[in-house]
Amino acid sequence: MRLFKEFHPDLVLVDLKMPGKSGMDVLEEIESIDPNVVKIVITGYATVSSAVDAMKRGAYDFIPKPFTPEEILLIVARGLEKRRLFLESLALKVEQERIRRNMISLVSHELRAPLAATVQYLEVILGGMAGKISSEAKEMIDRCDIRIKELLELLSRWLNLATFDPVNMADHFQDIDLSGVGRESIEILKPLAEEKKISLILEKPDDLPPIKGSKVSLEEIFNNLISNGIKYNKAGGWVNVKLYEGDEEVCVEISDNGLGINEEHLSRIFDEFYRVDGRRNAPIKGSGLGLSIVKKMVDAYGGMIDVESRFGEGTTFRIGFPKLFQP
Ligand code: ADP
């Protein structure tokens, strides 16, 4: 054990019967120091039960005595390959995290800040504070203003997704009544629905139990799903928000009788930036980030989300929030 701590090997071969300390204890101690070191057990009495016991304590494999040099070399080579793959995936994760951090800093400082400053200048010009401009110029600047604001919205949605931290969310947990969240989201989205002549309906029992959650994240989930039901709908359509209590979950069902989603796209709609068929969506503005934000948040609640849809008929998103969720 002293040598293990000094040398920190990639792989150890442990005899089960040793003087002073048993192999099982050594395995357990190594497991608690670094569970990713590959541990191979050498056993003189290769009974199934001792092998199973060793595996339970984190061993990768075992080899019964006596063995030939070829046998031990083979098992060591396989163990080292596993270790190499583990170290490689660890390095990839570190690299991925470095890229993510760089992107966050690039988006917020190098992209968002200058765009926000540009919008301010454009609004000064549009407000006439920088002198008189022709109506043609005003129209063009207006369009620039709208397009840059859309870009800013996309950047802030992406930042929201990339910086989402479940631990931070759990710090703000309190008892939340989902009926209240549903009601407020409907209130916020009413103007958008009225513009498209879509009715919003809330169905809920009087005795819905509260869930432990953060209001901001739940509002984000409801707003995204309800606004999608409005956006991908036709005039005269409806969006129904149904809340009910299941055995182990509180359930939210948001359905609409809108455009629906073709089966082939259903498995990808929760992916970042995924939008169904550019042409159908072309007049409908969006970033393809809304559902990935929703999915990430539902996962952080230990919940599940699924979707059912028929092209041309409508879509239903169903979420289950576990009643006994402990962050
Ligand atoms: P977007 O910003 O494009 O709305 P989302 O991640 O919210 O991004 O949705 C991804 C895609 O899933 C959308 O582009 C749309 O094609 C499809 N979609 C989402 N919700 C609905 C819905 N209620 N009805 C039809 N299509 C939907």
Chunked into runs of 10 residues, the chain (327 residues) has average pLDDT values of 94 90 91 94 77 87 91 96 96 95 93 95 93 93 95 92 86 91 97 96 94 92 97 96 95 97 94 79 81 94 95 97 78
| Closest C-alpha to ligand 1, atom 23 | 229
CB of 64 closer than 6 angstroms to any ligand 1 atom:
no
- Closest by alpha carbon to 11, among 52, 60, 50? 60
pLDDT at 327: 63
- Is residue 11 within 8 A of residue 78, CB to CB? The reply is no
Mutate to test the pocket of ligand 1, among 275, 307, 316, 319 (most ligand atoms within 8 A of CB): 275
CB of 298 closer than 6 angstroms to any ligand 1 atom:
no
pLDDT at 279: 56
113-119 CB contacts, 8 Å cutoff, 24+ apart: 115/148, 115/151, 115/152, 115/155, 116/152, 118/148, 119/145, 119/148, 119/149, 119/152
pLDDT at 265: 93
CB of 249 closer than 6 angstroms to any ligand 1 atom:
no
| Closest C-alpha to ligand 1, atom 2 | 286
| Closest C-alpha to ligand 1, atom 11 | 275
pLDDT at 278: 62
- Is residue 84 within 8 A of residue 37, CB to CB? The reply is no
Q: Give the tens place of pLDDT for each residue, 308-324.
A: 999 999 999 999 999 87
pLDDT at 124: 95
pLDDT at 46: 58
Residues 6+ apart with CB under 8 A from 134: none
DSSP secondary structure letter of residue 208: P
pLDDT at 324: 76
CB of 229 closer than 6 angstroms to any ligand 1 atom:
yes
